[in-house]
Structure 1
Amino acid sequence: MIADHLTGIEQFGADLWKMADDLRANSGLASNEYFMPIMGLLFLRQATNRYYAALEAIEADKATGKMPDRPLVDADFRRRRAMMLPEAARYDVILDMPKGGQLGEALTAAMEAVEEHFPPLAGQLPKDYERFDDDLLESMMRKFDTEALRNASGDVFGRIYEYFLAEFSKQGAHDNGEFFTPPSIVQTIVNVIEPDHGIVFDPACGSGGMFVQSSHFIEEEGQDTMKRVTFYGHEKNETTAKLAQTNLAVHGLQGTIRAGNEAITYYKDPHELVGKCDFVMANPPFNVDEVDADKVKGDARLPFGLPSVNKGKKVSNANYLWMSYFYSYLNDNGRAGVVMSSQASSAGRDEAKVRQKLVETGAVDVMIDIRGNFFYTRTVPCQLWFFDRAKERDPERADHVLMLDARNIYRKVSRAIFDFSPEQQKNIAAIIWLYRGQSDRYLDLVTSYLSEAIAHGQATAEPLTGFNKALAKLIDLMAPFAKEARDPDPLAETWAELTAVQATLNDDIAGFAAEVAVRAKAWTESANGEGRGNATLHAAREGLRGMAERCRDLTKQIDLAAKLAGRAVDLAIKELEARDSDLWANVEVNKARKALESIRADAVEALRGARYFVKQADWLQERFPDAALADVEGLVKLVDRTEIAEHDWSLTPGRYVGVAPEEVDEDFDFEEALRSIHIDLKGLNEEAEDLATRIARNFEELGI
């Protein structure tokens, strides 16, 4: 329940990445040389998937009379968010062609054909496959031709594509990974500004992640992205711009992206979008100090003037150029969300003067502090800035800025990388909803958490029953041997403890099932009364506390039972040589032990789900008990302009929200702590393996 987007997608992507990384190992190329060819193969695989899916839909429409039976044209496929691929550009056709040393040429020809039939991709796709060995290319293509990938939907494939972009970022494959902003950061920006209509502009668009996440947001609302928004972007690096175009195409999207010298935002405005954008989203380069002050002086996009200029007539730090650009591109009701260096919010001197003018407009809306390690190639913390031009004209809002310190909100993905879980993202969004007076959305979220808790509680029935049966089977198999008289008996104490735990577990599982039934009934009845208002939700959450505690206790009991069962098997075999006894069915015991461990993991995860969602509701309702925005020490504070002025116009949330009081965790999550330790250990092992490989390679190169 805390996996990103789609269950198992991270492991699926990781398996594919291991396959793709073979290309580096066997081609002798650096990551910045092979990442575009791999992304091209992924693109072609998805384009082929979409072609066949659209073709199937077209045939179905013909069969039902929804469209005439006539020769197909490009528009038939475009309407279904696909390309009308010529036969020679279809992944399966290329893979099944006779092998004669021409696979590289065939792939290059396929990319050229795609560009010809889909003008937005003209000049964007890789066309240098001839330099790869055909056997290597075929192996790579077959690894991307699994049943799962052949049937992957757009969303699944899009997530895989995003995963590969992230992995290439970690490798520093291009511009030190600057082309990729992690989805967790982008989703947070999307959740705050909600880009669901009009012109969406990213003047530092990288690989197009802002556009893709905007599309996810729009489509989750049941809307068609390309009917709701128009995407525009700048990207100075032409290779990265190609990635952006293919990233959009993989997701069935289109956008107008300018690249190269004409797209250097400091000096150019090729789309002429000043004052026209409904939404601006960006992760611009931080702390750039080489912008020519004479070239930008007097630019209409700099209404607050230049920040400091050094002796070399360079803008000392371009952070506030970006801030001015973002503000200027917005229309009167436009919103912006941008990633910025954490240094910028309290920068002094001329930067502070620009910041003061920004605050005085009333457009600065929300500031969010993000801890370090959210970026794949940077460990520094960052901040998210949000503007809302409509706020300037609202007397009740113009004077305030919401300060949110999210540095203590995170999930550990690996030893070096953190992100927000989906629920953490929702919880941050819920604070914004309360700030905007949208308490109904906040209550809907709490309702969804409690509904999920009930549903997960009900879903525990099967795995808990399964664990009980698996435990009983293993005990029954061991019983004839375990009950045999011995003096002394090294197995006796463990056996007695195991059977006692089994008896207790039976009763507790039955008690838990009864508790779930009571809570589910009460939850259903609450919807049939006066509705689920805030008071009803508080009462329901309090009622679910007992269920959540039972989840915790049952988890400990299940783990103990499995541990004791394993210990009993080991004692019987090692201390009493059970394998030599006619009373010991060794093969059946081993099978039963493995089955018990498997179902144990299922049962524990099911219990964890019910408890997890109660804890999410706790997090929200304990901090905002009245379903209204309130200052929370160490988390959030609504600050007025007078207080900001008293702090030298600083917009650093940590300066305002204070430090959260230390809490005594009476419900310490040992399982989560162990997960964190496991992640650290896994990371250390991977680093050790990589280091050993590099050492071995160095020895080989030295001829040792």
Structure 2
Amino acid sequence: MNNTEQSFLKELDDKLWKAADKLRANLDAANYKHVVLGLIFLKYVSDAFEERQRQLLKMFQTGEADNIYYLPRDDFDSDGDYQQALADELELLDYYREANVFWVPKTARWSTLKEKATLPTGSVLWTDDQGNAVKLRSVSWLIDNALEEIEKSNARLKGILNRISQYQLDNDKLIGLINSFSDTSFSNPEYKGQPLNLHSKDILGHVYEYFLGQFALAEGKQGGQYYTPKSIVTLIVEMLQPYSGRVYDPAMGSGGFFVSSDKFIEQHASEQHYDAAEQKKHISVYGQESNPTTWKLAAMNMAIRGIDFNFGKKNADTFLDDQHPDLRADFVMANPPFNIKDWWSESLAEDVRWQYGTPPKGNANFGWMQHMLHHLAPTGSMALLLANGSMSSNTNNEGEIRKRLIEEDLVECMVALPGQLFTNTQIPACIWFLTKDKGVRSNATGAAFSDRKGQILFIDARNLGYMRDRVLRDFTFDDIAKVTDTFHAWQQGDGYKDIAGFCKFASLDEIKKHDFVLTPGRYVGAEEQIEDGEPFVEKMARLTGQLQEQFAESKRLEAEIKRNLGGIGYEV
């Protein structure tokens, strides 16, 4: 985005967040996020629907599209008949579904919400299919009715839209939120009189993602269960390069990895000379999430961005109720909760997924890893965020599993991350990159990969990043590029070199000498100190002389202080 578009989005974020944050006095972040994100979703589907209506209206009147019914004005006796024919044609559902636009019934459209929300309670809103008068009960009921009508009309959305009446919010507060969203133009936006090249999907997708991050910060530890910091997600996606194929996240939270994969295709379209919209047809996403409200957040996140998804029939435990048992994915990415203790069930004892050893009952880390490997295609690649202990622990069979993974040549790269990256934990973390094929191959972009069998790349990124505030660290674009470029250069054998203190590739024999410990710091060594060119003997003589001068000056100052104190009657 250019600077103008970034400024527009920042001001929009601030404005909408201030409006939403007024609910904090009545609800905690874990609850009011559902109210706010539900309204964002309603605004999106309504905006997209109205945008499609404008396109259709133009085509009805001009006959520009072969597959759209042409309505010439001369075919009608009066202007009233003509306008009614246009209105009737605009209400045909197929015109919207063929363009992958959600159908929004009249009672669920944003214009209806804004108009009806300010009416007195008990006012007649419309008549139902049986001719009965429908009256306004409350603004939260009006919003829930819209969500329900949209679910009824769109099978893909069934069961994913969270109702808000349960939170018992005042009408005035909800009207204020509706007005805040209404005051912003999500279609054909302008900033200080300058038109912006942003579509409603881009803007509302950005707002949704921004709000997820803000709610995660507000919720603290609980918020981190559904939100992985954007810079870490971006780093993993840039390293794996998911241009096409099946993308899977077995601990998907709100679906951040899928959103980033979608953005990745858009951002790299020009440099790879392909059409982004066409390329997206070659990506399919699969996810799983145990928390029911988080499962709904992820589905809404995909719907806002127009990403087709398969999140299983329901929210479910990944280990005990795998929603994609037959899936073999080309890219697997996940940030599961670290070091889960209460994950085990005796039904898992002889599970087919434990190909490299049974994980300890008191820690799920290597359970997640082997579940992901089980679902990885023969030529696929995966990335897994885990606590640093996974790189060195030898307790309860973890060391043996790690040894098997290394001996089977599945580990491709290890990245040590700096601390304070996560909203929900201060536990130091790392990224495991694994693949079942480290031989000569090419990726979806056509880039040729060198034979890296018997090797593992180690990257120590602990010194990268900056403190975004007093609590959280973040990566810059340059930090992400540094790690990503290093990984790709090593994969492709083009321009890679070991850098002391940052990166080094090691053979399996060398790793064996380190007892199969994968901590990057053991391999990359210390950062080289910049030499100033001064011979050691001369430097030592110069520094010794400076030290003697400083000692002498110290003695002089000490004598001066004693003399001054003696002059006023103090003995030292």
The TM-score normalised by the length of structure 1 is: 0.62
Task: Note if contact 1:4-1:421 (Cα within 8 Å) is conserved in structure 2.
Answer: no
Task: Note if contact 1:188-1:429 (Cα within 8 Å) is conserved in structure 2.
Answer: yes
1:45-101, Cα deviation, whole Å (9 max, x unpaired): 122222222333334555323432263554533454431211221212210225123
2:155 matches 1:119? yes
Q: What is the CA distance between 1:117 and its match in structure 2? A: 1.8
2:438 matches 1:384? no
2:292 aligned partner, one-letter code: E
> Residue 331 of structure 1: which of 359, 365, 377 is its match?
377
Mapped to 1, the partners of 2:210 and 2:502 lie a distance apart of 31
1:181-225, Cα deviation, whole Å (9 max, x unpaired): 111111111111112222211111111111111111123323336
2:120 matches 1:100? yes
1:354 aligned partner, one-letter code: I
Helix, strand or coil for the counterpart of 1:56? helix
Mapped to 2, the partners of 1:298 and 1:59 lie a distance apart of 61
Match of residue 167 from structure 1: 214
Mapped to 1, the partners of 2:3 and 2:431 lie a distance apart of 24
Match of residue 20 from structure 1: 20
Mapped to 2, the partners of 1:8 and 1:400 lie a distance apart of 47
**Unaligned residue ranges in structure 1 (runs of 5+):** 309-314, 440-627, 666-704
Task: Note if contact 2:220-2:423 (Cα within 8 Å) is conserved in structure 1.
Answer: no
Match of residue 318 from structure 2: 265
Mapped to 2, the partners of 1:361 and 1:392 lie a distance apart of 13
- What pairs with 1:280-679 in structure 2 (closer than 5 Å)? 280-292=332-344, 294-308=346-360, 315-349=361-395, 350-391=397-438, 396-437=451-492, 439=494, 628-662=495-529
Q: What is the CA distance between 1:138 and its match in structure 2? A: 0.5
Match of residue 137 from structure 1: 174
Question: Structure 1 pair 344/645, CA: closer, same or farther in 2 (3 Å)?
Answer: same
Mapped to 1, the partners of 2:487 and 2:456 lie a distance apart of 11
Match of residue 548 from structure 1: none
1:159-182, Cα deviation, whole Å (9 max, x unpaired): 111111011111117834311111
Match of residue 247 from structure 1: 301
1:333 aligned partner, one-letter code: T
- Residue-pair matches, total: 467
Match of residue 110 from structure 2: 91
Q: What is the CA distance between 1:139 and its match in structure 2? A: 0.6
Task: Note if contact 2:244-2:280 (Cα within 8 Å) is conserved in structure 1.
Answer: no
- What pairs with 1:128-207 in structure 2 (closer than 5 Å)? 128-129=164-165, 131-149=168-186, 151=189, 153-172=200-219, 175-207=222-254
Task: Note if contact 1:288-1:317 (Cα within 8 Å) is conserved in structure 2.
Answer: yes
Question: Structure 1 pair 74/182, CA: closer, same or farther in 2 (3 Å)?
Answer: farther
Mapped to 1, the partners of 2:69 and 2:215 lie a distance apart of 45
Q: What is the CA distance between 1:428 and its match in structure 2? A: 2.1
Q: What is the CA distance between 1:347 and its match in structure 2? A: 1.2
Question: Structure 1 pair 81/409, CA: closer, same or farther in 2 (3 Å)?
Answer: farther
1:242-299, Cα deviation, whole Å (9 max, x unpaired): 1011111111123121376x7212223221135x111111111111122335321221
Question: Structure 1 pair 658/5, CA: closer, same or farther in 2 (3 Å)?
Answer: farther
Task: Note if contact 1:241-1:259 (Cα within 8 Å) is conserved in structure 2.
Answer: no
Question: Structure 1 pair 148/382, CA: closer, same or farther in 2 (3 Å)?
Answer: farther
Helix, strand or coil for the counterpart of 1:322? helix
Mapped to 2, the partners of 1:24 and 1:259 lie a distance apart of 33
1:29 aligned partner, one-letter code: L
Mapped to 2, the partners of 1:93 and 1:321 lie a distance apart of 49
Range with greater deviation from structure 2 (167-176 or 13-22): 167-176
Mapped to 2, the partners of 1:264 and 1:645 lie a distance apart of 36
Q: What is the CA distance between 1:352 and its match in structure 2? A: 1.1
Higher helix share: 1
Question: Structure 1 pair 4/124, CA: closer, same or farther in 2 (3 Å)?
Answer: farther
Task: Note if contact 2:455-2:507 (Cα within 8 Å) is conserved in structure 1.
Answer: yes
The TM-score normalised by the length of structure 2 is: 0.76
Task: Note if contact 1:371-1:380 (Cα within 8 Å) is conserved in structure 2.
Answer: no
Mapped to 2, the partners of 1:396 and 1:195 lie a distance apart of 20
Q: What is the CA distance between 1:6 and its match in structure 2? A: 3.9
Task: Note if contact 2:223-2:423 (Cα within 8 Å) is conserved in structure 1.
Answer: no
Mapped to 2, the partners of 1:385 and 1:2 lie a distance apart of 34
Question: Structure 1 pair 74/342, CA: closer, same or farther in 2 (3 Å)?
Answer: farther
Question: Structure 1 pair 316/122, CA: closer, same or farther in 2 (3 Å)?
Answer: same
Mapped to 2, the partners of 1:5 and 1:650 lie a distance apart of 46
> Residue 146 of structure 2: which of 104, 110, 132 is its match?
110
- Greater RCO between the two (CA within 8 Å, min separation 6)? 1
Match of residue 53 from structure 1: 51
Question: Structure 1 pair 4/654, CA: closer, same or farther in 2 (3 Å)?
Answer: farther
Range with greater deviation from structure 2 (179-188 or 51-60): 51-60
1:437-461, Cα deviation, whole Å (9 max, x unpaired): 274xxxxxxxxxxxxxxxxxxxxxx
Q: What is the CA distance between 1:237 and its match in structure 2? A: 0.6
1:138 aligned partner, one-letter code: I
Question: Structure 1 pair 207/318, CA: closer, same or farther in 2 (3 Å)?
Answer: same
2:288 matches 1:234? yes
Task: Note if contact 1:168-1:177 (Cα within 8 Å) is conserved in structure 2.
Answer: no
Mapped to 1, the partners of 2:329 and 2:321 lie a distance apart of 16
Mapped to 2, the partners of 1:662 and 1:77 lie a distance apart of 63
Task: Note if contact 1:231-1:254 (Cα within 8 Å) is conserved in structure 2.
Answer: yes
2:122 matches 1:69? no
Helix, strand or coil for the counterpart of 1:263? coil
1:144 aligned partner, one-letter code: F
Task: Note if contact 1:32-1:173 (Cα within 8 Å) is conserved in structure 2.
Answer: no
2:524 aligned partner, one-letter code: V
**Unaligned residue ranges in structure 2 (runs of 5+):** 71-88, 122-135, 190-198, 270-274, 442-449, 533-572
Q: What is the CA distance between 1:140 and its match in structure 2? A: 1.1
1:412-443, Cα deviation, whole Å (9 max, x unpaired): 3222222222233223221122112274xxxx
Task: Note if contact 1:2-1:422 (Cα within 8 Å) is conserved in structure 2.
Answer: no
Mapped to 1, the partners of 2:386 and 2:5 lie a distance apart of 26
Question: Structure 1 pair 159/175, CA: closer, same or farther in 2 (3 Å)?
Answer: same
Q: What is the CA distance between 1:119 and its match in structure 2? A: 1.6
Mapped to 1, the partners of 2:528 and 2:15 lie a distance apart of 42
